[in-house]
A and B are shown apart, each in its own frame.
Chain A
């Protein structure tokens, strides 16, 4: 029975490829349900939004480089900082993490696709349509201008009469559907499709982080959907949720928004730390120190992140008891983050560190996160927060966390996993130059902002007069921003060049331990011809040769081997130890998800334009798509 082999015979592979192939050409583009194509598309689309958001930031830095500048008008400045923040949070950070999860998670747990491949396509299309919808506000000349958290009453109809804020409110509610659907998919995939033997204590830390990410999304996103939804009801239909004159409450909006908004910070941070926990051990050539501690810390962060939202509202005059509680939790949440931090240091301390580009980004992340974490503890202290709130100190703090501690891991992840995804190595030397440029640029940009905050510069001002002591620092910051942008550009060049001339990536270029490295680079459509049988937390380090399961005779085991792949199926497992339970048919390519997302988009446009016929048309497209989908689903 036990035959050792490196690759299946080529006729076998050809047969499988035929079964798993997408339709060719443009129909294939709209109908694919392959988690890898979708994940890749997610990542690339997100980076387009990242570049746009970055260019907007550069425009703002040009404006602020000198006092009394007239490069931008006050109104355009308001629009740009709103669009910058909204884009980076809703259209880059959150979805790019979902994109990596889409691509990597099924391979890491040793399966052939997500639990709901069509929903996966749906969440991508919703994200794309929401992004297009949001940016189409520029076409009619009224981008959102109420800040990325759109506080009422400024954003209610009497004070913001144009379409501007409607693009924000409807766009945010719309893109929330995508995030939620993705999270449901990650949870079920992790619970039901793990390779046999991959018990919860053998899950890669990254998979744990995506699980915590998903649970946070499930319980946090509804709050922002309700906040944006009620805001739009006020704006479009004239309800009175946030109208103080009719019994509404502006504070209510802040509670709803931040009940999502603070978990959101950890929704972004947790998967980023998950990436770091994959990169550091591989380049320290040893298993991660304190696996159990790290996982416990991730779960603890998930819970605690729901008890800190009021620290965004310390200056709103709430009762002292409430403030004290939220200040205490905000201080306490630094503990699990600290646990992770020491585990990473311990891993490197006891390992043999190789300073490759992904590792440089990971170490850069550690330094930046240290500073962002410390300023986070500072602003959790009430009297300090009252001084620093709405100043550049806060701008510095959250860029250290959201740009430094999330974007640096994402770049590390690019250098780490792109060889697997594209089959081409990135240039190592250019990668290092890119890292150092970004690292220096980042700190030159954001560190002086702390000082500017102490010097009293408020956030969101479009200009300032000379003689306040802010001139030099602002110029320095603007220079830093361009250096940072240059570093990003170098990685883009690196990527483009590698696609044309890059060295071919071997299956496991870093000698990593998790299952995604057991397939070819790039992986075949079916990921694994036969599903690995896991007996270790580090299968590729401890299990040589890697056992893969043959197909059995019954329904619970027929999905494992070549026969299972040939039937377009993947095994279902269950229980803590991941025991075979059944076989799941992976759906054929279909345009339904795209049609349904399009229907929703039409509905949202109808709401925006207050055109009944358009709204109804969107609902009809959506309903027909949904019924058709439901009709074809669950043939068992």
Chain B
């Protein structure tokens, strides 16, 4: 084949275009899209829960009692409330207040960890195992996956705290904190839906 096209592009150097105020960081965008796909996983699991529920004559089946609401309600407040110190820490970092950053991160970490500890305690006291039936399987799978997300969030928190202590974070260096806090709020927010579906609605007759 004969090539008749121009083979090289001539270029002319021009001044860069006018800039505008900074938008969100690349990391922020990445986390938002990651959260979208993670949320879809939870939607699939909750849909599975309601699908199984709709095809069962009684719910929970086999005479299992629905999980207690008392303690888990308290720890749900603790988990969802742990978003507040994270907000506070992030704002602290932006305004250059390193102590607020560290204190908020630590408080959020402890609240998340106590939720996870309670979940472990609850698991050991439930009178059904995940191999019993479809109900117990989806209960453990959904709460377990959420617990895994809390665990990952705690790990991320440790990394961010280490960064905060080694003075890698500041008003100009805030992306790690921003990305972690997005993830943390997501994990807290998802729990609202898991709690409503698996605990609250199980008591509806």
Q: Are B1 and A5 in contact (CB under 8 A)?
A: no
Q: Are B175 and A241 in contact (CB under 8 A)?
A: no
Residues of B within 8 A of A605 (CB): none
Residues of A within 8 A of B52 (CB): 241, 247-249, 252
Q: Are A6 and B138 in contact (CB under 8 A)?
A: no
CA distance A634 to B14 in the complex (A): 31
Residues of A within 8 A of B43 (CB): 222
Kindly specify which of B16-24, B67-75, B84-92, B191-199 makes contact with the partner chain: B16-24
Q: Does B173 contact A (CB under 8 A)?
A: yes
Q: Does A29 contact B (CB under 8 A)?
A: no
Q: Does B204 contact A (CB under 8 A)?
A: no
Q: Given A247-B56, A249-B55, A582-B22, A508 and B14 touching (CB < 8 A)?
A: no
CA distance A221 to B38 in the complex (A): 10
Cβ of A285 to closest chain B Cβ, rounded Å:
10
Kindly specify which of A76-84, A230-238, A320-328, A375-383 makes contact with the partner chain: A230-238
Q: Given A222-B44, A584-B26, A3 and B13 touching (CB < 8 A)?
A: yes
Interchain Cβ contacts under 8 Å between A and B, 12 examples: A6-B8, A188-B30, A222-B37, A239-B140, A241-B134, A241-B137, A247-B52, A507-B7, A545-B12, A549-B13, A580-B18, A634-B175
> Which chain B residue shows the least CB distance to A427?
B1
Q: Does A557 contact B (CB under 8 A)?
A: yes
Q: Given A4-B11, A627-B155, A552 and B44 touching (CB < 8 A)?
A: no
Residues of B within 8 A of A119 (CB): 30
Cβ of A536 to closest chain B Cβ, rounded Å:
13
Which parts of B183-203 form the interface with A (CB within 8 Å)? none
Q: Given A248-B134, A634-B179, A636-B172, A241 and B15 touching (CB < 8 A)?
A: no
Q: Given A248-B134, A584-B26, A630-B176, A548 and B37 touching (CB < 8 A)?
A: no
Q: A548-B11, A581-B21 are in contact. List 10 more A-B contacts (CB 8 A).
A: A1-B15, A185-B30, A188-B29, A241-B134, A255-B51, A508-B9, A546-B11, A549-B13, A627-B155, A631-B162
Q: Are B134 and A508 in contact (CB under 8 A)?
A: no
Q: Are B14 and A574 in contact (CB under 8 A)?
A: no
Which parts of B112-134 form the interface with A (CB within 8 Å)? 130-134
Residues of B within 8 A of A540 (CB): 9
Q: Does B40 contact A (CB under 8 A)?
A: yes
CA distance A582 to B24 in the complex (A): 10
Q: Are B5 and A510 in contact (CB under 8 A)?
A: yes
> Which chain A residue shows the least CB distance to B58?
A247
Q: Does B95 contact A (CB under 8 A)?
A: no
> Which chain A residue shows the least CB distance to B162?
A631
Chain A 602-636, CB-CB to B under 8 Å as 1, else 0, gives 00000000000000000000010011001101111
Residues of A within 8 A of B16 (CB): 196, 549-552, 557, 560-561, 580
CA distance A630 to B163 in the complex (A): 10
Cβ of A178 to closest chain B Cβ, rounded Å:
13
Cβ of B167 to closest chain A Cβ, rounded Å:
12
Q: Are A6 and B10 in contact (CB under 8 A)?
A: yes
Q: Are A561 and B13 in contact (CB under 8 A)?
A: yes
Q: Are B7 and A221 in contact (CB under 8 A)?
A: no
Residues of A within 8 A of B136 (CB): 240
What total of chain B residues lie within 8 Å of the partner, measured CB to CB? 69
Q: Are B132 and A545 in contact (CB under 8 A)?
A: no
Chain A 239-278, CB-CB to B under 8 Å as 1, else 0, gives 1110100111100100110010000000000000000000
Q: Does A207 contact B (CB under 8 A)?
A: no
Q: Are A557 and B19 in contact (CB under 8 A)?
A: yes
Q: Does B61 contact A (CB under 8 A)?
A: yes
Q: What residues of chain A have their CB less than 8 Å away from a CB belonging to chain B? A: 1-7, 115-116, 119, 180, 183-185, 187-188, 191-192, 196-197, 218-219, 221-223, 225-226, 230, 233-234, 237-241, 243, 246-249, 252, 255-256, 259, 356, 428, 506-511, 517-518, 530, 532-533, 540, 544-552, 554, 556-557, 560-561, 572, 574-575, 579-582, 584, 623, 626-627, 630-631, 633-636
Chain B 78-116, CB-CB to A under 8 Å as 1, else 0, gives 000000000000000000000000000000000000000
The residue that A259 contacts in the complex, of B6, B36, B44, B175, with Cβ under 8 A, is B44
The residue that B14 contacts in the complex, of A222, A518, A549, A554, with Cβ under 8 A, is A549
Residues of A within 8 A of B159 (CB): 627, 630-631
Q: Are A184 and B6 in contact (CB under 8 A)?
A: no
Q: Are A191 and B141 in contact (CB under 8 A)?
A: no
> Which chain B residue shows the least CB distance to A562?
B13
Residues of B within 8 A of A551 (CB): 16
Residues of B within 8 A of A575 (CB): 20, 23
Q: Given A6-B11, A188-B30, A579 and B48 touching (CB < 8 A)?
A: no
Residues of B within 8 A of A627 (CB): 155, 158-159
Q: Does B65 contact A (CB under 8 A)?
A: no
> Which chain A residue shows the least CB distance to B5?
A511
Cβ of B132 to closest chain A Cβ, rounded Å:
7
Q: Given A191-B29, A222-B41, A574-B23, A239 and B12 touching (CB < 8 A)?
A: no
> Which chain B residue shows the least CB distance to A626?
B155
Q: Are A249 and B134 in contact (CB under 8 A)?
A: yes
Q: Are A517 and B9 in contact (CB under 8 A)?
A: yes
> Which chain B residue shows the least CB distance to A116?
B30
Q: Does B156 contact A (CB under 8 A)?
A: yes
Cβ of A85 to closest chain B Cβ, rounded Å:
23
Q: Are A548 and B137 in contact (CB under 8 A)?
A: no
Q: Are B14 and A1 in contact (CB under 8 A)?
A: yes
Q: Does B182 contact A (CB under 8 A)?
A: no
Q: Are B176 and A241 in contact (CB under 8 A)?
A: no
CA distance A156 to B202 in the complex (A): 28
Q: Are A226 and B132 in contact (CB under 8 A)?
A: no
Q: Are B175 and A548 in contact (CB under 8 A)?
A: no
Q: Given A249-B55, A546-B9, A548-B11, A579 and B163 touching (CB < 8 A)?
A: no
CA distance A547 to B16 in the complex (A): 10
Q: Are A508 and B135 in contact (CB under 8 A)?
A: no
Residues of A within 8 A of B130 (CB): 237, 239
CA distance A227 to B23 in the complex (A): 38
Most buried by B among A2, A116, A247, A517: A247
Q: Given A223-B40, A548-B11, A549-B14, A230 and B22 touching (CB < 8 A)?
A: no
Q: Does B77 contact A (CB under 8 A)?
A: no
